[in-house]
Amino acid sequence: MDIIKKLFSFYSSFTGDKGFLGFTTLGYPIPYFCISKGTYPVVFAQGGIHGREYITTSVLIKAVKYLQSLPFNGTLYIAPAINIDGIKIALLDKDFKANANGVDLNTNFPARWGTGSQNKTKLSKSDYIGKSVASEIEVKSLMSFTKYINPDATVSFHSKGEEIYFDFFNPFLQNLHYPLARAISDVTGYAIKVNLPSAGGYKDWCLQFLSIPSFTIEVGSDSLSHPIDLSYTDEIFLKVKDVLPTLIKEL
């Protein structure tokens, strides 16, 4: 069973609060799961925004199961696969990060769009920013859903490198959110990094326009090859399983 079939099979069997936050370019619904044990804080986690990084989808499916049985106060929304089209393509082309239009979704958000050091202005498997800012339906869906649930923090799971990014051209927010980044580092063993020379990402948009703590977490050792084999799911999950509970606790 490939990872997208596994996702929809899990969605069908999940008996808790769930829904679709929008649709992909090719018309696939984008599932989310909600685990609510209190009104505050609200934390939203998403993965699979890059096609070849579907290890994050596998890890987040496992996280939903784990978090259901965990005591905490707050609400967690988890969307394991934003870029379902891209994941399906990446199952055949291991270098593919973009969506079905060839746009790298994590460069298409309205946050210094087009200014990243690796941004491309022509169609590509990765890093192409799109014809216009927020041109992609997946990006529009993710922005609309985020505004709708009004989270107190967001976490974007990517691969690879075992690193944590949390800043975007705002020293005040960087200092304010650093203790949360340190708490995540403490429970994962991942290194904190700053001043990533990228732009147009979901984390970037959350920081620039919503001013909420927002983190990009790169899972999996840098020694692994893209796409990380799903056999590493358990190993990676054990390192990141307490990221969301820690944020709930620290906010």
Residue 182: its pLDDT value, please?
98
Query: Mind giving me the DSSP string for 218-238?
Result: EES-TTSPSSPPGGGHHHHHH
**H/E element, 35:** strand 29-36
pLDDT at 228: 98
| Residue 66 domain flag | yes
Check: CB of residue 155 under 8 Å from CB of residue 166. Answer: no
Q: What residues contact 87, with CB distance under 8 A and at least 6 apart? A: 3, 4, 48, 51, 54, 57, 81
DSSP 163-194: EEE--SS-HHHHHHHHHHHHHHHHHH-PEEE-
Nearest to 188 by CA among 222, 155, 168, 217: 217
Q: How many domains does the chain have?
A: 1
What is the per-residue pLDDT for 111? Answer: 96
Give a yes or no: residue 42 inside a domain. no
Largest CA distance in the chain: 47
| DSSP one-letter code for 120 | B
Measuring CA to CA, how many Å separate 153 from each of 19, 168, 172, 185, 220? 20, 15, 16, 16, 22
- Asked, for residue 199, whether it belongs to a domain, the answer is no
Is 141 domain-assigned? yes
Domain CATH for 5? 3.40.630.10
Task: Give the range of the structural domain holding residue 118, as residue numbers without chain letter.
Answer: 1-10+17-35+50-152+180-193+206-229
Q: Is residue 234 part of a domain?
A: no
- Cα torsion 73, 75, 79, 80 to 10°: value is 10
Q: pLDDT tens digits, the chain, 251 residues: what are they?
A: 699 999 999 999 999 999 999 999 999 999 999 999 999 999 999 999 999 999 999 999 999 999 999 999 999 999 999 999 999 999 999 999 999 999 999 999 999 999 999 999 999 999 999 999 999 999 999 999 999 999 999 999 999 999 999 999 999 999 999 999 999 999 999 999 997 788 999 999 999 999 999 999 999 999 999 999 999 999 999 999 999 999 999 99
Residue 5 inside a domain? The answer is: yes
pLDDT of residue 197: 83
Other CB atoms within a 10 A radius of the CB of residue 152 amount to 18
What residues contact 161, with CB distance under 8 A and at least 6 apart?
218, 220, 221, 222
Does residue 250 lie in a domain region?
no
* Residue 201, in any domain of the structure: no
Q: Say how many C-beta atoms besides its own lie within 10 A of residue 36's C-beta.
A: 12
**Cα–Cα–Cα angle for 178, 129, 206, nearest 5°?**
30
Instruction: Give the Cα separation of 40 and 204 in Å (integer).
Output: 23
Work out the burial of residue 144: count CB atoms within 10 Å of its CB; fewer than 13 is exposed, 13-18 middle, 19 or more buried.
exposed
